[in-house]
Amino acid sequence: MAASSTSETHPTARDLMDAHPTVLHPSDKVSKGVKCIMEHRYRRLPVVDDEGRFKGVFGVNCLLRLVLPKAVVMDKGLSTVPFVRDSLSDLHRRLKEVEDEPISLCMHDESTQVSPDTPLLETLLTLYKTRASLPVVDPKTQKLVGVISYFDVGEKILSAEA
Amino acid sequence: MNHGTEVINIVFGLDPQWYAGILFVLTYLLIMSERINRAIISLTAAGLMILGGVLTQEAAMEGIDFNTIGLLTGMMIIVAITKQSGVFQYLAIWSAKLVGASPWGILVMLSLVTAVLSALLDNVTTVLLIAPVTLLITDSLKVNPYPYLFAEIFSANIGGTATLIGDPPNIMIGSAVGLTFNDFIINLGPIVAILLAIIFIPIYLIWGRNLRASPEARQRVMDYNENDAITDTRLLKQSLLVLAIVIIGFTNSHQIGHEPATIAMFGGALLLLLSNLPRSPGEQSKEIEKIFSQIEWITIFFFIGLFIIVYGVEKTGLLELVANEIMTLTKGDAQNTTLLILWVSAVASAVVDNIPFVATMIPLIQNMGPSLGGSEALMPLWWALALGSCLGGNGSLVGASANLIVAGFAERAGQPIRFLPFMLMAFPLMLGTIAISTVYIYLRYL
């Protein structure tokens, strides 16, 4: 009763999240990860290990990272490459070269996350800064307990009484 | 102990030579351990040198070589602006296409571009600009980038040896002794050209003869359009104009009577002015903040602290004692002393940072002047120190900052350059360059 009341008056990340998100495993192949995000048009998916612990995210940014030359995406690499004339086939060739590698090769070790008890505004601010779906992680067990997307938040706001 | 007009009031009545000597050795050990940032170490030790009573604040300021600081800072500003034009990428691509994108040809050309740029800029900046383009080209060619990066490390350190501004040791030596840009070119240019040509022989035998790329891969590189690398034609013209003025200023510094630091700082200020003229005051502030953030402040403050530490040690008379010991060891013979400095500098620079080493060696050599017959007799020693400390940097990954920068790129590209395998290959090659330098110094000066 008290918890419900608190949830209504002081909602947290737990009240916004999707508790059953699609997830990937670090040993999943790049080809599987690419297929998954392309089929469902996900911007990124959380990656969890066998115990459900959050390990990072794999998304369209990782996909771009795989098809671009390393000299461009690396730290202190080339900031512009207007002189390169690569074709779509060249990009596809780069992707083919790594398709059987595990996604752990290129997943982003996401540090931005919220706990289930993070207050509403703090959660929204983090979401705003991250500009992508936000993993909700139990700080004690490091297990992924859900994901918050812009759409989840939009639905919740629109369905709330003004 | 009285040193000229100054009386050193050391803390707790300690012997100044022991205090400064221990502080100096501890500073070296901490720098070598790489556990604490070198700028923090040198500034802390400099503070202890003053607080301990070895130097007054005024004396510490006297110890800082502002000619070195100004020259480094001025060139860093010029490079930070110039690189925005894309001219360095243009050069790298143009040179790669000049040899028909042949893998071995590209290795030679990129190495030569690295050497020339290292002579005119500084090594770290050069490899920061060239290594990413190298990785892009080797990725297109589908060849292992390791030989290319290895050759660029050697070329950067050899090329940087040729000029006053090419490598920090040369800046320090030139400033302390009053050597001009032309002095360095005339005395070290020939041996640098010889070494650059010779170094390709072992690199070809080890890697070059096995470098292969498919016609399709070579075509990918040939399809690069180097003209598109130039992102700002106006800035390019301004940068080349200022660079030309600065180089002409360096080569004529003796005639115009101005120090290289003045020329470099004025060049930096002029390029800042020209490139910011069309901008509003608000945009100018943002742009200048961006350019100044690219100045390597860690290096600048490291130098400042180091100059104070070495000046403190020198003031206690410790370096004079060591210089006398070396003179006893070499029996006051100029030839033996020169060759000893060349080889010791090379081996030392391969394992420790050559900047503190040269900062220590400069007053040490100056103290040898009376025993060897005056400042003119010291000239071979200065060239030996420059050659040993610059070329010695090739001996190991930690021998020069540029080596570590390249190793960082290699690591991020998934082709790590490991410490020991690199040293097993690089150290003998470095000794080879020193052996050739020995012959050069012997024939030319001894």
Are the C-beta atoms of residues B139 and A70 closer than 8 Å to each other? yes
For residue B226, list chain A residues with Cβ-Cβ distance below 8 A.
83
Contact across the interface for B226 and A76, Cβ inside 8 Å: no
Instruction: Answer yes or no: are the C-beta atoms of B135 and A70 closer than 8 Å.
Output: yes
Closest-CA distance of chain A to residue B220, Å: 7
Which of the four pLDDT bands, split at 50, 70 and 90, describes residue B72? confident
Residue of B nearest to A91 (CA): B140
Residue contact B231–A74, C-beta within 8 A: no
Rounded distance between C-alpha atoms, residue B166 and residue B158, angstroms: 9
- Dihedral, CA of residue B47, residue B52, residue B56 and residue B60, to nearest 10: -40
Chain B residue with the nearest C-alpha to that of A81: B229
Q: How far is A92 from chain B (nearest CA, A)?
A: 14
Q: What is the model's pLDDT at position B9?
A: 66
A83·B414 Cβ contact <8 A:
no
Amino acid B162: pLDDT: 96
Q: Closest partner residue to B132 among A71, A83, A85, by Cβ?
A: A71
A78 to chain B: closest CA residue:
B132
| Segments in chain A forming alpha helices (H) | 2-9, 13-16, 30-40, 60-67, 70-73, 88-98, 120-130, 150-159
pLDDT more than 70, % of chain A? 94
Q: Contact A74/B133, CB-based, under 8 Å?
A: no
Predicted confidence at residue A6, as pLDDT, reads: 59
* pLDDT for the residue B422: 92
Instruction: Identify the residue with better confidence: B352 or B328.
Output: B328
**Tens-digit pLDDT profile for residues B181-197:** 999 999 999 999 999 99
CA distance B228 to chain A (A): 5
The pLDDT value recorded for residue A110 is 64
Q: Is B128 on the interface with A (CB under 8 A)?
A: yes
The model's pLDDT over A48-76, given as tens digits with 9 standing for 90+, comes to 999 999 999 998 888 888 889 889 888 88
**pLDDT tops 80 at residue B428:** yes
Question: Are B136 and A74 inside 8 Å of each other by CB?
Answer: no
Considering chain B, what is the average pLDDT of its residues? 90
Interface residues of chain A, partner chain B, Cβ below 8 Å: 69-72, 74-78, 80-86, 90
Determine which helix (DSSP H) or strand (DSSP E) holds A44, and give its type and residue range: strand A44-48
The shortest C-alpha distance from B300 to chain A (Å) reads 21
What DSSP assignment string belongs to A99-111? TTSBGGGT-B---
Are the C-beta atoms of B396 and B376 separated by less than 8 Å?
no
Q: Is B220 on the interface with A (CB under 8 A)?
A: yes
For the entire predicted model, the pTM comes to 0.82
* Inter-chain residue contact A83 with B135, CB threshold 8 Å: no
Q: Which two three-digit tokens encode residue B398? A: 């930690």
Interchain proximity A81–B136, CB inside 8 Å = yes
Distance CA B143, CA A10 (A): 59
pLDDT interval class at A100 (50, 70, 90): very high
Please give the Cα distance from A133 to A110 (Å, whole number).
11
Q: Dig out the tokens for B138 from the structure.
A: 């080797």
pLDDT tens by residue, B89-106 = 999 999 999 999 999 999
Domains of chain A (ranges plus CATH)?
A: 13-159 (3.10.580.10)
